[in-house]
Structures are given as C-alpha cells and as structure tokens.
Amino acid sequence: MDRTAGGVQGGAGAAVETGFMAQGWVLFSAVMIMFAGIWNVFEGIFAFLRSSFFTGTPLFGSLWIWALLWTAFGVLLIAAGSAIMSGQSWGRWFGIVVVSLSAFVHLLAIMIYPWWSLVMIGIDVAIIYGLTAQWEVSARPRMA
C-alpha cells in the first residue's frame, strides 16, 4: 500500500485523502499562524520593556494597552495554529476569526509600527486565503 499525504491508497489507483491537513495551503496557514502568534507575543514583550523600539505614538490608548493586545492576540494565534495542526474541525473558523481581528489590530497600529504592521497585514491576508482556499470538509477520492 502506498501512503499519500492524508491517507492510505487502496486498490484501483484511487487515493483517498482523509482530513484537511493534506492540503498544502492549510499546512502553510497553520505554520504561519504559529509564527505570527510568536512574533505578536515578542512584539508585546518589546512594547512592555522597550518603548523606544517603536517609531510613533499610538492613535488609540497607550503603548501599554497595545502591548497587552499584541500579547493576547499572539496567544490566540498560537492556539488557533495548534488547533488547525491537530486537525480540529473548528480550528479553521477560529483561525479565520482570530487572524481577521489580528489584521484589524495591525491596521490600527500602523501609527506605532508602520512597516511591520503592513507586513503582518499581508501575512494575515495570505493566511486567510490559505484557510479558505479549496475548503473540503469530507474525504473525496483522488486519482493517483
């Protein structure tokens, strides 16, 4: 029996993909969500410990509030990436919601950290595309 990315090949040359982790975009999104979450946590720690690292002043609130937001979203992004990588069915929806909110937070933080916020928004858009592209809920046969 030959193994495929998501299942075991039976007879007659038809491979069956079991689970959505066989899709490359979903795996890409899960890994990128984990990295984005780690970077958001670091960004929050930098805002707590070294405020001179940021170029501007916040439009809303203080830098301390933004540090809490970045740290909280970092933890949520890591949780979403873990849920997607473990194959939870609700993980994609949770990831889409958290990444969308993270992109909105970075949009509001452009005054504080302009270039990094734009990079993170671009990464968030790629993650959302990866989570929504070729959404397949059930297993379907694929010709090998």
pLDDT score of 16: 43
Task: Please identify which residue in the block is written with the tokens 């090949």.
Answer: 9
pLDDT score of 121: 93
Task: Report the distance separating Cα 112 and Cα 125, nearest Å.
Answer: 20
Instruction: Choose the weakest-confidence range: 34-43, 49-58, 60-69, 98-107.
Output: 49-58
- Encoding tokens for residue 127? 């993650």
Percent helix, strand, coil in the chain, to 5, is 65, 5, 30
Residue 14 pLDDT > 80: no
Task: Report the distance separating Cα 142 and Cα 96, nearest Å.
Answer: 27
- Encoding tokens for residue 89? 């069915």
Mean per-residue pLDDT for 117-121?
90
